[in-house]
Structure 1
Amino acid sequence: MGHPWLEHYESGVPHDIEHVDDCVHHLLEQAAGRFPEQVAVEFLGSTLTYRELWREARKFAHALQALGVRSGSRVSIMLPNTPQFLIAFYGASLVGAVVVNTSPLYVARELEQQLNDSGSETLVMLDAFYPRYEEIQARVPVKRVIVTGIQDALPFPKNVLYPIKAKRDGNWVQMKGKKVLAWKSLLKRTAPEVLPVHVHPDDLALLQYTGGTTGTPKGAMLSHRNLVSNTRQCRAWMPELRDGQEIILAAIPFFHVYGMTSAMNFGMLIGAKLILIPNPRDIRMLLVAIRKHRPSIFPGVPTLYNAVNNHPDTPSFDLTCIRACISGSAALPLETARKFREITGGANLVEGYGLTEASPVTHCNPVRGEQRVGIGLPVPGVSAMVAGEGGSPVPPGEIGELWVAGPNIMQGYWQKETESAKVLQQRGGRTWLATGDMAVMDEDGYFRIVDRKKDLIITGGHNVYPREVEEVLYAHPAVLEAAVIGVHDEYRGESVKAFVVFKEGTQASWEELTAHCRAGLSPYKVPRSWEARGELPKSAVGKVLRRALQEEAVQA
């Protein structure tokens, strides 16, 4: 199978990456050696240099060892983007533990399911989340809980004032019980002297649970080699970046693998300054951070860029410092990209593609080269094909399932051999990941996702891909967000239903939207039913969950 995309790589982008033998914690260790006095993280006025961050990670690693954490032990981290997240992640990696990324948005039931499935014996969490753990603590294998608060990362006097404000707002939690350890006192009495542990690049580094939009969440097993390879693939894609000089706006959550790779690990690799945004829904805070710190790189998701585009305060902020933005996790609407480039004075916002099982990045449009509608080209070291029935590649221009291979592909699903065998296929001596996404590749090797295989709507024998209908809806001036699903239809089998969120202060009739869709879509693709919503259900990273809407429709 040829690789036509290689001819369309930007100047300076290699065709492949060098063999990786590093572990994840080496990214921080090497950055501390190269840029010891460079600010690594900035968080609400407090900073840590790379030297200081590496020291704190080693202290945390030593504390874990003293508590009985060993190589292979699972350590769940339930934190927003704070300095404690980086310290806990790289510290756990250093002792050979397996990090389990745990969403702060989980309710008690979801937390219980993940702790039991992963077998986590250590839980690092924010104090405000502790009541959820209290509900389930008797039913999970956790032996020790390390609790931290936002105030633990703040400078004086903010660290004193924050608890007062938290108590006033009703967000302060009083913890009780022998299993609870205080982060600050734990690190204060610990030296950065880690007992030697041999961690191999092929050892399991991370259990990253899929979003659960198609069933019970599964833990993708990502090795150190998987994570470091993907970080280096992202670096190879942007050869013009300057090590030790870039500033990354880290708004996308680290507990999501896209944020972990494209912001956190990537930042360590290039010695960047990370501006931590603990709540990406606070667009005003994000805009203030851009004005104050002048970030050059802003990885994100479409809903985040869309929120910036439509926030009433955006016109009063200068966003021209932003040079590169890679949009992942979901399809990037053309109108969202156009408007964001306009308000930033031409920032290179390009669509990429990835999935949890691939650590996650597999494709991206050239940041400065030729960009086309779709997810772009496979990144260095990734092979891709559009597969038909039986796994054979189909010709350019034909629709099939996207398969990918490379050093970033997961080892499998945690304790789910049958599920692993369904998506990991052996072809030509390589392991291919069947993504479940329907795609098409053109003659030049540019790929475009048509839609999720499971989201396909079949109406009257015709195939309708929700993304195409959503693109048309996003082009309407009154539409802020849109999602399209198939609903039961006695005559057609399924018909198209659209959910729409209108921009503040605007409105449009269903007749107007129907006429708008008829101008850009074949008749069978035009929604036959509509519903206005104040908001759409989203995952922790901001991806619209069509599956949740589908379940609502079935129940109704």
Structure 2
Amino acid sequence: MRIDRHYEFWPKRLPKDLAVPQTSLFDNLEISARRYPDKIAIHYYGGSITYRRLKDEAEALAGYLQTRLGIKKNDRVLLIMQNSPQFIITYYGVLRANAVVVPLSPMNVTGELEFYIKDCRAKAAIVGQELYERIAPLQKGTSLQYVITAAYSEYASPQFDSEIPEEVWKPRQGFPDEDAIDWQEAISAGLKPGELIVTADDTAVLPYTSGTTGIPKGCLHTHGTVNSNTVGAAAWGSMTANTTSLVTLPLFHVTGMQHSMNAPVFSGGTMVLLTRWQRDLAAALIERFQCTHWVNIATMVVDFLANPHLNNYNIQSLSYVGGGGAPLPEAVGERLFQLLGVRYIEGYGLSETISQAHFNPPDRPKLQCIGIPSFNVDARIIDLKTFQELGPHEIGELVVHGPQVMKEYWERPEETQKAFITIDEKEFFRTGDICQYDEEGYFFIVDRIKRMINASGFKVWPTEVESVMFKHPSIQLACVVGVSDAKRGETVKAYVVLHEHERGKVTEEEIINWSKTKMSSYKYPRIVEFAESLPMSASGKVLWRQLQEKEKQR
């Protein structure tokens, strides 16, 4: 039975059901550009872009993709950039070309990128110039034919009066490889795109997530599923054309994508964009542009409030501060309230739900709580073995049904089938999270079924890390677990058994340094502990739960 006790605490200004546009995501930009052509859409290190220019450059990129690169409807285009105006232009430009955005972390190394290219059979990639060397080797022997490179400095101002990250001030590089296409060449070609033919039911975005096996899976989202949470985020956060959002979350991640980019574009609001997190600069920009909204992760808030210079800035314009990924410590939430008079709004979502499935009501939030089901979401708790529905304070798996749930895992029908369960003739997505809800209908995460480490809001899958570590010639056996970390929430630890002839010749620090070169910065083990042996089952499997429990007891 659908849980509705939370409606007593539903924001009174909002309807309980939300109509979702039956148009494409690009229509959101087109409408905002028509309404507010000369309004600033993006502030970026002293540079600024109006909505008219944002739309025009997205269309120019779309025209180049279609005319010169032969991109057609449903073709997958990789988007690999740090936060920048070009990220936003590319996102909407690919959609305008009737193609599919595949947003990937800029921390991925060549071996990781090769998997994604082969899995989604991407034909083109648009990347920050600092990332080109990682993807260049993959233009030979894969489906990848074209790479467009962008210099972030072309949208910043050299007169900016604060510190600029290296990636932002670095001028455009010339790549001798003729396969590298310069961003300005694509934008300046003056090519017009063909007709916008995609509808709400067509695929728009393919973000990747990982499963229990650690193998990344593409989550197939349509313009309709993405729009449902775009509109939902704007409504829940009271976003208007007068909203100014501080953008610090990575835009390739679904939370940043939805709350810091798609919702502001839908609303016609302004985005104040940071490529790198800098707490002093964040405070200065909040004051300068009178930012009203800031969606983040808990570690940013902790760092922001720990700034001894924070009192030098007027940040009272902030009216909505929230996020997800990891619970905000209660003491930090109280300090935020004392400082701003606003409560931290925690939410919950997954790549499979293109961000939020749950929100805390802004006028009645609970700390360390994922909140109540979002618009049109039916959320329930089921028993892990019997799949029977459970009541208040009973612990089981969270399952959700709603308009934002992905359609399927990309070309993985068996994984898709496992991920859904039918209840009351409706398809529910199995989140893999162990939760409970209280007598008021607020949901709380208890644990995770899936073996996942949450490091500063980034999902780290131990199996994936282990598979890389086994490539080290000195490692005989490795088991990766999550351990508590004051700054990151959780961090990655590897128990390592060395080959007998390597013992005493290799240090833990050498293993860590080697891992840094093979994995994204959030994945590699920050702690390595050598062991003579690891606990094993009768079938020869490493009993990772025993090691995890050992760390919890510590």
- Given residue 204 of structure 1, which amino acid in structure 2 is its aligned partner? T
Distance 1:249 1:376 in 2: 23
Percentage identity across aligned positions? 28
Does the 8 Å CA contact 2:299/2:487 hold for their aligned counterparts? no
Match of 1:450 in 2: 446
Give the aligned partner of residue 44 of structure 1.
45
Alignment of 1:399-548 (within 5 A): 399-454=395-450, 499-501=484-486
Equivalent in the alignment of 1:85: 87
Is 1:275 the equivalent of 2:277? Answer: no
Query: Which of 79-88 and 213-222 deviates more?
Result: 213-222
Residue 300 of structure 1: SS of its match in structure 2? Answer: strand
1:258 aligns with 2:255: yes
- The yes-or-no answer on 1:381 pairing with 2:376 is yes
Q: CA deviation at 1:283?
A: 2.3
Partners of 1:547 and 1:88 in 2: how far apart?
A: 33
The whole-number CA distance in structure 1 between the counterparts of 2:268 and 2:386 is 44
> For residue 330 of structure 1, what is the aligned residue in structure 2?
326
Please say if residues 59 and 187 of structure 1, whose CA atoms lie closer than 8 Å, have aligned partners that are also in contact. Answer: yes
Residue in 1 that maps onto 2:22: 21
Asked if residue 308 in structure 1 is aligned to residue 307 in structure 2, the reply is no
Tell me which residue corresponds to 1:228: 227
Residue 410 of structure 1 and its aligned partner are, at CA, apart by 0.2
Matched position secondary structure for 1:290: helix
Per-residue deviation, 1:9: 0.2
Q: What's the secondary structure of 1:305's corresponding residue? A: helix
Is 1:103 the counterpart of 2:105? The answer is yes
Which of 240, 244, 261 is matched with 2:241 structurally? Answer: 244
- Structure 1 window deviating more from structure 2 (294-303 vs 312-321): it is 312-321
Which residue pairs with 2:468 in the alignment? none
Distance 1:324 1:543, change over 3 A: farther
Report the equivalent of 1:519: none
Query: Is 1:284 aligned to 2:276, yes or no?
Result: no
For the Cα contact (< 8 Å) 2:79–2:90, is it kept in 1? yes
State the Cα distance separating 1:547 from its structure 2 match: 9.6
Structure 2 unaligned blocks of 5 or more: 463-480, 489-511, 535-541, 548-554
Candidates 291, 295, 303, aligned match of 1:295: 291
Name the counterpart of 1:371: 366
* CA–CA distance in structure 1, aligned partners of residues 197 and 189 of structure 2: 25
Q: Is contact 1:13-1:238 (8 Å) kept?
A: no
Amino acid at match of 1:361: Q
Which residue of the partner structure matches residue 186 of structure 1?
A: 186
Residues 543 and 421 of structure 1: CA distance in aligned 2, closer, same or farther (over 3 Å): farther
Change (3 A) 1:270 1:92: same
Q: 1:549 to 1:266 in 2, by over 3 A?
A: farther
Secondary structure, in 3 states, of the residue corresponding to 1:22? coil
Q: Please state whether the residue corresponding to 2:207 is helix, strand or coil.
A: strand
Question: Which residue identity does 1:267 align to in structure 2?
Answer: P
RMSD: 3.4
- Cα displacement (A) at 1:100: 0.3
SS state at 1:391 partner: coil
What's the CA shift string for 1:247-282, capped at 9, x where partnerless? 0001111111110001100101111100011112x2
Q: Across the two proteins, how many residue pairs are aligned to each other?
A: 478
Q: Which amino acid aligns with 2:130?
A: A
Provide the C-alpha distance between the structure 2 equivalents of 1:359 and 1:180, rounded to a whole number of angstroms.
31
CA contact 2:343–2:365 (8 Å) conserved in 1: no
Is contact 1:372-1:446 (8 Å) kept?
A: no
**In 2: Cα distance, 1:137 partner to 1:232 partner:** 38
Q: Secondary structure at the match of 2:432?
A: strand
TM-score (norm 1): 0.79
Counterpart residue identity of residue 90, structure 2: A
Please say which of residues 60-69 and 329-338 is displaced more in the overlay.
Answer: 329-338
Q: Which amino acid aligns with 1:186?
A: A
Supply the AA of the counterpart residue of 1:59: A
SS of 2:295's equivalent in the other structure is coil
Match of residue 65 from structure 1: 66
1:217 aligns with 2:216: yes
Instruction: Give runs of ≥4 in structure 1 deviating > 3 Å.
Output: 155-158, 165-169, 171-174, 211-214, 370-373, 496-503, 542-556
Task: Check 1:497–1:417 CA distance in 2 against 1; reply closer, same or farther (3 A cut).
Answer: closer
Indicate the residue corresponding to 2:148 in structure 1: 146
8 Å contact from structure 1 (residues 77, 102) kept in 2: yes
8 Å CA contact retained: 1:263, 1:299: yes
C-alpha contact (below 8 Å) 1:213/1:545 kept by paired residues? no
Q: Does 1:9 align with 2:10?
A: yes
User: 1:312: Cα distance to partner?
Assistant: 3.6
Structure 1 gaps, min length 5:
457-465, 471-482, 486-495, 504-533
1:128-156 per-residue CA deviation (whole Å, 9 max, x = no partner) reads: 11111134332432111101101221346
With the length of structure 2 as denominator, give the TM-score of the two structures: 0.79
Alpha-carbon distance in structure 2 between the residues aligned to 1:127 and 1:367: 40
CA distance in structure 1 between the partners assigned to 2:405 and 2:529 by the alignment: 30
Aligned partner of 2:469 in structure 1 is none
> Does the 8 Å contact 1:213/1:547 carry over to 2?
no
Residue in 1 that maps onto 2:507: none
- Could you tell me whether the CA contact under 8 Å between 1:233 and 1:381 is conserved in 2? no
Say whether the 8 Å CA contact 1:36–1:50 is kept in structure 2: yes
Cα 1:143–1:244 change in 2 (3 A) is same
Q: In 2 relative to 1, CA 274–381 (structure 1 residues): closer, same or farther, beyond 3 Å?
A: same
